[in-house]
Structure 1
Amino acid sequence: MRDDVVPAVRAVYGEQDLSSAPAFGGGFINFGHWEGISLDRPLTAEDRVRSQRDLYRCVLGALDGADARGVEVGCGLGVGAVLAVEEFGFASVTGLDIHPEQVERARRANAGLLARAPERLGFACGAAERMPFGDGEFDRLYSVEAAQHFRDLAAFGREAARVLRPGGRLAVTSFFVPDGAEDAGVAGVGAELAARLDSFASGLDVAHPVTSLTGALDAVGLSDVRAESIGGHVWPGLDHFLSGIDQPVRWPRNFLPAYRDGLLDYYVVTARRPVEGG
Structure 2
Amino acid sequence: MDSAEALASMPFVFKTREFCACAGVKPSSASRSLRAAAAEGIVSRVGRGLWQRSDSEAPVAECSTPHPFPPAWMNANECLMDAAFGAAPRRMSHLMALEAAGVPLVVGPQLSFPHEHARTAMPLGITVFSEPRDRVCLFAARLTERTWMSSPTRAAVETAQHDVAAPLWDERIAWVFAEDGGAILDAEEAVEISDALQMRAGLRRLSSIADALRRLAASDPGGSLGSVPDQWANIVTARRGDAWIRLRRSMRAPLGPSEAAWVDSERKVLWDRHPRALAASLMT
User: What TM-score comes out, normalization by structure 2 length?
Assistant: 0.28
Q: Which has the higher strand share?
A: 1
Which has the higher relative contact order, 1 or 2, with Cα contacts under 8 A spaced 6 or more apart? 1
Q: Which structure's CA Rg is the greater one?
A: 2
Question: TM-score, normalized by length of structure 1?
Answer: 0.29
